[in-house]
Structure 1
């Protein structure tokens, strides 16, 4: 061991190289450690392109194939940032178990885009996350990550400020954030988020992130809230006619009027309760649900219908909290609403935080300032 520890780059000779190559074929743990120290010193003495490079490549590959896990890990850490290591070895280490592969994936200058895409395809989810976190990640790899559509990998990518995420890729991430809640916070803070993209992202983020977007882009809250309603207006053009409930059909005005009178009668008798909302949905009386929610919250019926057709569930959540629906009940209520309304609201996101009924009512009215005409 002492002979290897005293090895100096300037003293590299054919005998030294032959001795190291012999160690590479030994299975003794002590020999492998001696080999690791000797190879590290020899690498410093052999710049790329030298006559020793092929020999070093053979030593490296032999070591990686035969070495114990701890030796491969030390080797990966030593070679992660160098440009003279054999590319075949670097690719081998990048496909090793994640603790060995991670430093190489994150730092090796020898890994090309095609190598990183191979890691995405052939390795574990942890390897994919490491690729997404790699500094200065290239556009081809960014597109490959988004194409795969893996939530945690795209979230790691959105947190990588140095990745080459172009406008098209950024728009795709914003669109994915409609269904992947974890994407929303890193996208809100991303330096390449444009004002136009922020308006789209605003439609399905929670209250705290809306405030962050508003502060960053200095956009009036009314303009941001209007984005939600604009999307609801566009969705309502085709979707509302597909809702299979009688109250949704213009020709069934008599049924709507009957339901309105029922709600008013219950209110006058002091019998109008939030429980009616759940019962109406269970009895498949969707028009009664809308009428009751509007009267309970003193909301406009158009506002309630806009909340039902919104691209996010948060307006409906706020309206329900405002009239006294328990937060624990809302998920099942939302599922019933979506079954009756052709899949609307657009997703399951809402900010399930403690909020008073009065505060929820104010937030709902502000969000629904521009209801569509029904």
Structure 2
């Protein structure tokens, strides 16, 4: 295709309706004759369009994948980390960014070219990123020496998993654990945490906060994330997203979730643009994660625009605070 015609084609493709770009991505994702420039453009599109080509396109080279890592959203980065047969160069780029969620996706990618040095970096990151530990214990490229290192800061269940794969000398390992603890006490960026669960909770909260920030920055934070978060049993992510979407405080959101009636949560969801027809199913999912709260009653599918709902919600929260 002549250069001028190619530029015209790309311009038209970029201006095409979303459904057309989606169809292009799905149809061209696995073919090796697709125009490289078009595939690269689709890979930088919104995630639903980009995902098929990121996952499978044979014409996406390392430079294009690294560009996706640098220029797009967290969801794009996760898609890159999950791409089958990921090269060592892209693996290193992911580790250089050191995003906990993306690295966790990478650790679960069994076909990625994760060499000994990259695996060592992942194990090192697992000191602070608890989510890395489980996939690393099962990874086929985990060596015995790295297994001993990983063993020092995982929980009992994961220690058993490592012990089933490798011959672990408890006497030598206990000595290594003591030496590592003594060294860690002098380490400027890491300290032993007596309560591993609290550490994992803090890390999860931080990852969720960063996810919301990245989605917000990229213009990808939409009410649909509320449903997704609940389906993934992530009430904390739901609360963060609702607060960010509605500019509500954490106290306001938590009060709505644990209110005696569902009216505050209903108003908050309407305020951020959630379709009122979706609210009953959302409410059922929240109750599963919040010990049956919010309580019954207090809401009806009354027509109300988002501005009125936001005003009513904030007024209700102010009245509750003064009770």
Specify the TM-score bucket, using the shorter chain as the normaliser: 0.5 to 0.7
**Are the counterparts in 1 of residues 148 and 168 from structure 2 also a CA contact under 8 Å?**
no
**Are the counterparts in 1 of residues 43 and 49 from structure 2 also a CA contact under 8 Å?**
yes
| 1:99-127 CA distance string (max 9 Å, x none) | 00000011111111011110011000000
Q: Secondary structure at the match of 2:168?
A: coil
Deviation at 1:235, TM superposition (A): 4.7
1:101 aligns with 2:50: yes
User: Please, what TM-score do these two structures have when normalized by structure 1?
Assistant: 0.49
Q: Secondary structure at the match of 2:83?
A: coil
Structure 1: runs of 5 or more not aligned? 1-51, 243-309, 319-326, 332-374
What residue is the counterpart of 1:158 in the other structure?
107
CA distance in 2, matches of 1:187, 1:92: 33
1:312 aligns with 2:261: no
Rg: which structure is higher? 1
* Structure with bigger RCO (C-alpha 8 Å, 6+ apart): 1
**Are the counterparts in 1 of residues 110 and 140 from structure 2 also a CA contact under 8 Å?**
yes
What residue is the counterpart of 1:191 in the other structure?
140
Aligned residues: 198
Of residues 162, 166, 177, the one that matches 1:213 is 162
What residue is the counterpart of 1:36 in the other structure?
none
Q: Secondary structure at the match of 2:118?
A: helix
Matches within 5 A, 1:100-249: 100-235=49-184
Q: Secondary structure at the match of 2:141?
A: coil
Of residues 11, 17, 22, the one that matches 1:73 is 22
| 1:279-313 CA distance string (max 9 Å, x none) | xxxxxxxxxxxxxxxxxxxxxxxxxxxxxxx9633
Q: Secondary structure at the match of 2:128?
A: coil
What residue is the counterpart of 2:229 in the other structure?
none
Q: Secondary structure at the match of 1:72?
A: helix
**Are the counterparts in 2 of residues 203 and 311 from structure 1 also a CA contact under 8 Å?**
no
| 1:322-364 CA distance string (max 9 Å, x none) | xxxxx99xx9xxxxxxxxxxxxxxxxxxxxxxxxxxxxxxxxx
CA distance in 2, matches of 1:60, 1:161: 37
Flag the 1:215–1:68 CA change in 2: closer, same or farther, 3 A.
same
User: Please, what TM-score do these two structures have when normalized by structure 2?
Assistant: 0.56
Flag the 1:148–1:317 CA change in 2: closer, same or farther, 3 A.
closer
Deviation at 1:59, TM superposition (A): 7.4
**Are the counterparts in 1 of residues 152 and 177 from structure 2 also a CA contact under 8 Å?**
yes
Matches within 5 A, 1:289-328: 312-313=192-193, 316-317=194-195
Q: CA RMSD in A?
A: 2.8
CA distance in 2, matches of 1:224, 1:56: 65
Structure 2: runs of 5 or more not aligned? 202-323
CA distance in 1, matches of 2:26, 2:2: 20
CA distance in 2, matches of 1:184, 1:200: 11
| 1:202-256 CA distance string (max 9 Å, x none) | 11111100000011113234443332112124456x68xx9xxxxxxxxxxxxxx
Deviation at 1:67, TM superposition (A): 1.4
CA distance in 1, matches of 2:55, 2:2: 24
